[in-house]
Amino acid sequence: MSRQSTGSAFTKSKTLDNKYMLGDEIGKGAYGRVYKGLDLENGDFVAIKQVSLENIAQEDLNIIMQEIDLLKNLNHKNIVKYLGSLKTKSHLHIVLEYVENGSLANIIKPNKFGPFPESLVAVYIAQVLEGLVYLHEQGVIHRDIKGANILTTKEGLVKLADFGVATKLTEADVNTHSVVGTPYWMAPEDHSGK
């Protein structure tokens, strides 16, 4: 989170519950759009995931609520922080820590910065692994690690995001072989069913 001038991103914005100002769209996913927001109490930028409640299947809403429940209990430097949620008649708004540099997928796009240095790859991988170790210690499996779900701060800190398909592991789950994730980012053994 950071305090900066609000600039033009909030000139035509909408206020949520007199707590947050909704700014420009910064991303979208399976269940909604993500906006840059402004916390009106402290001036910090936040990310606000907006999920439309119109025509949403109960199963999809359950997945979103599971994501919120998981995030509420996670506290680690390499995990995006959950800050709260607001519900209106038409939308559920999930308020998260704003990670200003965006996704690793955008940073490593071809021709954006040229070849990606191995030393930086090592730094990012080490941080991703720290986040994953923490998650596994909490009994959480992310199940969708990919460039779009790895965010970076301006200081170079990596944060894992998007826990929509994450799950809490129990002993009963150890032998379950349900496959979820993004195909080109999944481990080969997930595709082969081993």
Q: Are 27 and 84 part of one and the same domain? A: yes
Radius of gyration over every alpha carbon of the chain, rounded to an integer in angstroms: 17
Residue 49 assigned to a binding site: yes
Q: Given the residues 39, 144, 162, 173, select the one marked as catalytic.
A: 144
Clarify whether residues 110 and 68 are in a common domain.
Answer: no
Entry pTM: 0.80
Are 85 and 112 part of one and the same domain?
no
Tell whether 70 and 148 lie within a shared domain.
no
DSSP secondary structure, 76-103, as one string:
-TTBPPEEEEEE-SSEEEEEEE--TT-B
Same domain membership, residue 69 and residue 34: yes
Token pair of 29 as six digits: 């996913």
Q: Within this chain, do residues 19 and 45 fall inside the same structural domain, yes or no?
A: yes
Give the pLDDT mean for 113-122.
87
CA 186: distance to chain centroid?
18
For the segment 108-134, the average pLDDT, to the nearest whole number, is: 89
What percent of the chain is predicted at pLDDT more than 90?
Answer: 54
Q: What is the CATH number for 167?
A: 1.10.510.10
pLDDT above 50 (res 152): yes
User: For all residues of the chain together, what is the average pLDDT?
Assistant: 83
pLDDT digits (tens, 9 = 90+) for 27-68: 887 788 999 999 999 999 999 999 999 989 999 898 889 889
Q: Does residue 11 sit within a domain?
A: yes
169 pLDDT higher than 60? yes
CATH number of domain containing 90: 3.30.200.20
Q: Which pair of tokens denotes residue 81?
A: 């922080």
Confidence label for 171 from pLDDT (cuts 50, 70 and 90): very low
pLDDT per residue as tens digits for the range 86-101: 998 999 999 999 999 9
Domain that holds residue 121: 104-192
Question: Where is pLDDT greater, at 121 or 170?
Answer: 121
The pLDDT-based confidence of 117 (bands split at 50, 70, 90) is: confident
Is 111 in the same domain as 185? Answer: yes
> For 3, which DSSP code?
B
A 10 A CB-CB count for 131 gives 22
User: Would residue 1 count as lying in a domain?
Assistant: no
| The domain boundary residue, chosen from 45, 75, 97 | 97
Assess whether 190 carries a catalytic annotation. Answer: no
Euclidean distance between CA atoms 60 and 79, whole angstroms: 23
Residue 2 falls inside a structural domain: no
Q: 137 lies in a domain?
A: yes
Q: Of the residues 62, 97, 132, which one is the last residue of a structural domain?
A: 97
User: How many domains would you assign to the chain?
Assistant: 2
Strands 32-39, 20-29: pairing is antiparallel
Sorting pLDDT into bands at 50, 70 and 90, what band is 175? Answer: very low
13, 78: one domain? yes
> Cα–Cα distances in Å, from 53 out to 40, 48, 62, 71, 89?
25, 15, 12, 20, 8
Question: Mean pLDDT across the stretch 117-140?
Answer: 95
Residues 127 and 73 in one domain: no
CA 48 to chain centre: 10
> Does residue 10 surpass a pLDDT of 70?
no
162 with 128, same domain: the answer is: yes
Q: Read off the pLDDT of each residue in 10-22 and give the average, rounded to a whole number.
A: 81
| pLDDT over 80 (residue 189) | no
